[in-house]
Chains A and B, each alone.
Chain A
Amino acid sequence: MTGKIPIAKTYKLFIDGAFPRSESGRTFSVNDTEGELIANVSQASRKDFREAVRAARAAQLPWASRTAYNRGQILYRVAEMLESRKTEFVELLKSIGVNSRSATREIEDSIQRWVWYAGWSDKYSQILGSVNPVSGPYFNFTVPEPTGVVGIIAPTEPSMLGLISRLAPAIVSGNTVVVVSEGHSSLTSVTIGEVLATSDVPAGVVNILTGDQTDLLPWMVGHLDVNAIDISGISQETDLTLIEEAASNVKRVVSRQVNEESLELLSDFLEMKTVWHPIGR
């Protein structure tokens, strides 16, 4: 044999811990900066979205019921896996037009940021929760609980740091997510999915769909079993009246442009539960 056979990666969806192709059979192509084809990526349909939500819903309670310590450990493990695949990510970002220095910095920032959020897993409830004074024979507590299933429109730029910054604060508190990614950033998102699949993150906690965000947005907004959506990554041209449908099940809609670690982003996906408990002897 004279030459090696090139083995190109197939970019597929990440649903319930597995990497299926789209049920629709559709794909879209992603080219590098030179215009050369990098990959044909699966284009998710509304049915893929439905399956992803189903998986996220099934995984939500078990994920939230794990101890905060255990969730933190799993997120640290993700950081370790990201660390070991640094060069792969640098190459990937370079192929979609990020220069070498920025790519390296983006990966390093992403890992640091992930670990920052991982550290919050067993600390945010002490900071955000409270014991409230009431005028009666009651203990009164406020405790944060995860919102549930969160739909995330992945930011296209920067593709790695952008998604990491949205994903980590959502899942650290026990939410499960369905990410919709499009264009060049799809490649980064799917590769992050591959890291998650090998990092003890239970199946269904993170589901990643690639395709057309404007296509899938109405289904995400209208789905009654999605409790919150993060549309911070949405493109400027998107018709925002689409979001109104989110009122149908009083979905939490988050749109927050922050470029640093932020506890606010974590608390966006929390619901505060206040409990009255009679004082007795």
Chain B
Amino acid sequence: MSTSNITFRKTGSSIKVTPVDEVSLEARAASLATRSIKTDSKRAALHLAIRCMDLTTLEGADTPEKVASLCQKAKRPDPSNHDVPSVAAVCIYPEMVHHAVEATEGSSVKVASVAGAFPSGLSTIEARTADIADAVKRGADEIDIVLNRSAFLAGDEQRAFEEIVASKDACGKAHLKVILEVGELGSYDKIRQASMLAMTAGADFIKTSTGKISQASSLPRVLCMAEAVRDFAQQTDISVGIKAAGGIRTAKQAWHYLVVIGETLGTEWLSPEMFRIGASSLLNDVLLQLKRLDSGSYSGPDYVTVD
């Protein structure tokens, strides 16, 4: 496969999309995952993972109380230890936004809302943009939308592109994260194309998955997206953020992602402004690892709050 160009009618901009070498990509991701993190660096890595975390609850059974307690945990992940930083944001459904805004007021924790017919993205674009505008009006700082995989996979990239442009308009000042749902795209080449498409359309962040299907984020997929981000930055001078989400449950997985991002994009990306990890159960494991570092003995799930 040779280099192709995506040209988009609306902006007239043209972006080069290089093909992906699957074997090297997976080998590179696997070798980065074997990198050992020494004890001295572990605490810094764990703190960074917390600072970059989007603490997420996206269940049909979410209640205002559950969101409020999630926000408390986001502000002070470990009530017994002041050194543990707050997470970057809480990620919730639009219906819950005003509860989260209230609960996080005065803290550094941002409110991210999924919007636009999450998780399928298959309602009319008018309904989706109205949903986005509504979430922003309720006070969301960040909006997570999904790529229209249906249009993208059917070959109608132009439509997928224009929908993201329209969504970006609807966002106003709020940050836009575009979920590619990489598990549904089928190949690394498609992930690369979708990443380029989303970034060209104005995404502030590209995000791996909704967390609603079993095939979610993986190290090679995030590496593939990180390389796309690097390419895009070289071609346009625009730095786009990355969010890995779905299936990230252990502290070890989290620092593998930090290594991949740091090695591919540089330390500039190792901050909550440029990198996020979306997770619901990861935080407790990170807290357990921190307790292990502090006390020297292994801790257990009885010693952290349940969600």
Interface positions of A (Cβ within 8 A of B) = 50, 53, 57, 219, 222-226, 245, 248
Contact = CB atoms under 8 A, between A and B. Distances in A.
B300 A222 contact: no
Interface in B253-307: 296-303
A46 to B, nearest CB: 8
Interface centre among B298, B299, B301 (most CB of A within 10 A): B298
A222 B302 contact: no
The dominant DSSP class at the B interface is loop
A57 B297 CA distance: 17
A219 B301 contact: no
B300 A223 contact: yes
Contacts of A226: 300
B298 A222 contact: yes
B249 to A, nearest CB: 12
Contacts, number: 27
The dominant DSSP class at the A interface is helix
B93 to A, nearest CB: 29
The 7 closest A-B pairs by CB, nearest first: A225-B300, A222-B297, A223-B298, A224-B299, A224-B300, A50-B298, A224-B303
Interface in B53-83: none
Nearest to A49: B298
Contacts of A57: 300-301
A226 B302 CA distance: 11
A94 B93 CA distance: 66
Contacts of A224: 297-300, 302-303
26 contacts: A50-B298, A53-B298, A53-B300, A57-B300, A57-B301, A219-B297, A222-B296, A222-B297, A222-B298, A223-B297, A223-B298, A223-B300, A224-B297, A224-B298, A224-B299, A224-B300, A224-B302, A224-B303, A225-B298, A225-B299, A225-B300, A225-B301, A225-B302, A226-B300, A245-B297, A248-B297
Contacts of B299: 224-225
